A and B are shown apart, each in its own frame.
Chain A
Amino acid sequence: MAEARKQDWIDKLHDFDRRWIFLAMGIAIIVPFFFPLGLPVQVSPMVRSVYDTVEELHEGDVVFLSLDMDPASVPELQPFYKAVLLQLKQKRVKIAIATTWYAAPPMLERWIRETVEANFVPDDAPAEKGLPDRDHVKNKLAKSKEGRYVKNVDYVWLGFREGKEAVISGMGKDLHDTFDGRAADGTKLSDIPWMKDRRQLKDFKLLILVSAGFPGIKEYVQQVQARYKLRMVGSCTAVSTTDLTPYYDSGQLLGLAGGMTAAAEYEKLVNHRGSGTQGAEVLNVGHIVVILAIIFGNIIFFVGRARERKRRAA
């Protein structure tokens, strides 16, 4: 009788409704979201390389920022975008922004209004504990009037061009021609002093790529990095990280920040606690649920298999 009850229990677990896992995951996400655990964030070498490379820029340098993403990748990529933008603004670096994703422009135009043209670090944001004096000064700068970039003076929004790799290859050859010589608002690129002579991607000090998939970092490396020996750093979604890491190992990418956890690391480096830091903490708890689900699934599988073998032997 006891044996029969045990078998029923295992059978039930075998046909376990997967919605219970979704519920557990939902709880694992919502609870730490409202009751933070304060888990530490350790900066990995790949992320530090991105920071160090951007840190080498000087006031007046011009970088090319390609935001190849859509709304679905916002949670993973927006925290990095904000953090790196803060660093660029602190250094007063000029930025040319473009995208090769058709779904991006409406969202990016809003981001530009809210983060490039305006200060996204609230004026009343508290200073982080243990922040070095140097960074205090920089943070103040980012919050001040100088943190507001002016269109076609401090930054240029080139917009979107369809063509994927062909467009990336075209930008490598002639950026002005690819965008018909005009910014998204119709301003002639030749009328912007710092864009006038920057006709190719190699004329930029650094390429910062925020990429959700195809086309993105991989295509930039394949089409222009190898050909023109460009300096590039990137941020990608977690799922692309393993595909892109070899480019970091070979030196084709000078740094890589993959997914929300890397964004949290970057936020730590620029001393701006944003949605990445909050998300990374929740992510850790979510991972524990996944690990437990894997262990649980394996136990059910192996117990079930052992029981089946026993039954056959009998």
Chain B
Amino acid sequence: MTDLPMIDLLGFWLGIFLTFCILSFLYKDNPFYKFAEHLFIGVSISYVITQQYYNVLRPKLVDRLAHADHWFWTWDVFALILVVLMFVKVMSSRLGWLGRYPLAFVVALYAGLQINGVAQADLGQQIQRATKNMDLRKVNVNKMCKQSDDDERKACIERQEKALAGVPGISSVVAVKVRKGAEQKPFGSLDDIAKLATLSEAERSTFSAARGSVIGTDAKAATTSGQRDWFGIFSQILLFIGLLASLVYFYFSVEHKGTIGKISRFGVWVLMIGFGASFGLTVQGRIALAIGRVQDVAGTNMTKHQADQIHGPVVALVSVGIIIAGLVIWELREKRKRQAGPTSGGEK
């Protein structure tokens, strides 16, 4: 185990101190908070400028122009002209309009990329998903692939294994074992799958834990063909109605009253449930950030050797001590200033 370099240690200590500086805002706006805030902004901006220079401007522009020899020079000069035009916007109000060209170039480039991507990935694929057959059937675990043609049989096996892997509690590895098991002796019930000798203990326990007739294994798989997945059908209908109702809420060409009003109201409820889920997850993310800071201070998300070198809890206590002492001194000075304020103001 190598020791952490001094610069890394200082980084960890500064990180802990700055965390408490930011938290001191809970008391009130104060110099410690201001210091941490300004330091963060300053470091961020300088980091961005350095990173952009070394990763973009130098290799893509400076180096290329320095080593350019023939015709493609012009393309690099074109990039340089666009960069210069950006600065014209802030340096001259008369020629400011020239700054629109690089912006137009960037906007057009990303609009082109986005239109293509959104149309293919969001619109096309999601419409395909929304128009899925509503009459969902359970996967038949005993389905046999007995085609005489080898290619057809192979394709059938692939389809069957893929379908089985979509059932809760059945991984792609288990799917192969289940298919082979059914080929040897068809399953009388889903309980027989758990008794397969080829399953490991972990796979067996995962399968048993996923059993359930509403959304579990029993809801999605059966030992005979043609059985319906009723909860799946209900979910599909709910999704379809929810989608239409949400769209109606945003349709303003008809007044939202009567039946349309009721559908629109249902659409609002669907949207609210969606926003509620987003809000809950946002809260989760924010709490996770706080947990991350506690883990850093306590040293639980690093090796024991590193934690022993950093002494996070001690640094935290020292930081809190410094901040409290600093705040007391600052408050006393502020109090003195306030007391002296009216007199000095009068003198002026």
Q: Are A25 and B287 in contact (CB under 8 A)?
A: yes
B251 within 8 A of A: no
Cβ proximity bits B278-306 to A, threshold 8 Å, 1 near / 0 not: 10011111011111111100101101100
Nearest neighbor of B203 in chain A, beta-carbon distance = A132
Among A120, A225, A250, A290, which residue has the most Cβ atoms of chain B within 10 A? A250
Binds A, one of B114-122, B151-159, B184-192: B114-122
Contacts of A55 in B (CB 8 A): 171-173
Q: A52-B172, A135-B202 are contacts. A275–B55 as well, Cβ < 8 Å?
A: no
Nearest-neighbour CB distance to chain B for A202, whole angstroms, equals 15
Q: Are A274 and B48 in contact (CB under 8 A)?
A: no
- What total of chain B residues lie within 8 Å of the partner, measured CB to CB? 52
A29 within 8 A of B: yes
Nearest neighbor of B304 in chain A, beta-carbon distance = A122
Cβ proximity bits A151-166 to B, threshold 8 Å, 1 near / 0 not: 0000000011110111
Contacts of B52 in A (CB 8 A): 102, 162
Q: Are A33 and B294 in contact (CB under 8 A)?
A: yes
Chain A interface size band reads 35 or more
Among B122, B124, B129, B288, which residue has the most Cβ atoms of chain A within 10 A? B288
In the assembly, what is the distance between CA of A274 and CA of B282, in Å?
A: 22
Cβ proximity bits B223-246 to A, threshold 8 Å, 1 near / 0 not: 000000000000000000000000
Q: Are B288 and A161 in contact (CB under 8 A)?
A: no
Contacts of A258 in B (CB 8 A): 281
B128 within 8 A of A: yes
Q: Are B285 and A226 in contact (CB under 8 A)?
A: no
Binds B, one of A71-79, A142-150, A305-313: A71-79
A283 within 8 A of B: yes
Contacts of A164 in B (CB 8 A): 110
A56 within 8 A of B: yes
A260 within 8 A of B: yes
Binds B, one of A1-9, A187-195, A203-211, A239-247: A239-247
Nearest neighbor of A159 in chain B, beta-carbon distance = B55
Contacts of B26 in A (CB 8 A): 19, 22
Cβ proximity bits B51-68 to A, threshold 8 Å, 1 near / 0 not: 110011001000000000
Q: Which of A18-70 contact B (CB under 8 A)?
A: 19, 22, 25-26, 29-30, 33, 45, 48, 51-53, 55-56
Contacts of B284 in A (CB 8 A): 238, 259-261, 283, 287
Contacts of A102 in B (CB 8 A): 48, 51-52, 55
Q: Which of B99-120 contact A (CB under 8 A)?
A: 109-110, 113-114, 117-118, 120
Which of B129, B291, B300 contacts A250, CB < 8 Å? B129
B277 within 8 A of A: yes
A180 within 8 A of B: yes
Which of B121, B200, B201, B287 contacts A287, CB < 8 Å? B287
B147 within 8 A of A: no
Contacts of A259 in B (CB 8 A): 281, 284-285, 288
Q: Are B117 and A74 in contact (CB under 8 A)?
A: no
Nearest-neighbour CB distance to chain B for A186, whole angstroms, equals 12
Contacts of B288 in A (CB 8 A): 75-76, 238, 259-260, 279, 283
Nearest neighbor of B167 in chain A, beta-carbon distance = A45
Q: A22-B26, A222-B117, A260-B291 are contacts. A161–B55 as well, Cβ < 8 Å?
A: yes
Nearest neighbor of B275 in chain A, beta-carbon distance = A242
B168 within 8 A of A: yes
Contacts of A33 in B (CB 8 A): 291, 294, 298
In the assembly, what is the distance between CA of A246 and CA of B274, in Å?
A: 12
Q: Are B281 and A279 in contact (CB under 8 A)?
A: no
Cβ proximity bits B132-144 to A, threshold 8 Å, 1 near / 0 not: 0000000000000
The list of the 3 closest CB pairs from A to B, nearest first, reads A75-B292, A222-B117, A226-B120
